[in-house]
Amino acid sequence: MTEPLNLFAFSGSHSSNSKTAILIDAVVEEIARTLPIRVTSANIAPFMDNPLGQRRKDLPETARAILDGIENADLLVMGSPVYKGSYSGAFKHVIDMIEPEGLLHKPVLLCAAGGGQRHALMVEHQLRPLFGFFGAASAPIAIYASAADFTEDKITDPALQDRIRLAVKGFAQMVNTI
């Protein structure tokens, strides 16, 4: 049996039951059916203790541990809520704390959740270029979910469930060729 890959899942939402967190959890569950993984998950809450910390050393230990986890993971699932057509400022602040070479060639599956379909291209126009700057290996298919895809705290839209499976299939193929 092959050694499990370390997957770090990060939600740019501070809530563990946000649409973004629910989406990321569903993606991670699908990846676990496809690849041998060891999962660590975190959200943005630890960064809110010092939201304007400009250097890594200014952050609380829990926030620094998240950055280390992101940089040291074999695989990433990264997601942000959509605000005004883009990722949140807090999500960008976390990404700004990552070392420039910290994501180089790292496989990442990008996710976002927003209120409606008008934000659907955010993953392509905002998230993908952000991770491209770091030289991360973004999966060919990203995942966007809107509020209509959920009933309470569950993904209920069959099209989104299919997209998750399709995105994870491509992600797994990409990972297996590395």
CATH number, domain of 30, equals 3.40.50.360
129: CB partners within 8 A, 6+ apart: none
* Across 7-16, average pLDDT: 93
pLDDT digits (tens, 9 = 90+) for 76-98: 999 999 998 999 988 999 999 99
Helix (H, G, I), strand (E, B) or coil at 124: helix
Question: What is the distance between the alpha carbons of residues 54 and 41, in angstroms, rounded to a whole number?
Answer: 23
pLDDT band at 46 (very low <50, low <70, confident <90, very high): confident
Q: Is the pLDDT of residue 55 over 90?
A: no
Q: Which residues contact 177 (CB under 8 A, 6 or more apart)?
A: none
Q: pTM for this structure? A: 0.95
Domain that holds residue 96: 5-176
CB 127 within 8 A of CB 159: no
**pLDDT value, residue 19:** 96
How would residue 52 be classed by pLDDT, with cut points 50, 70 and 90?
Answer: low
pLDDT tier at 150, thresholds 50, 70, 90: very high
Are the C-beta atoms of 69 and 128 separated by less than 8 Å? no
Residue 49's pLDDT is: 74
Count how many domains the chain has. Answer: 1
Portion of the chain with pLDDT greater than 70, in percent: 98
Residue 54 has pLDDT above 80, yes or no: no
Residue 1 above 60 pLDDT? no
pLDDT of 169 higher than 70: yes
pLDDT digits (tens, 9 = 90+) for 110-148: 999 999 888 888 999 999 999 999 999 999 999 999 999
Closest CA to 91 of 113, 120, 119, 124: 113
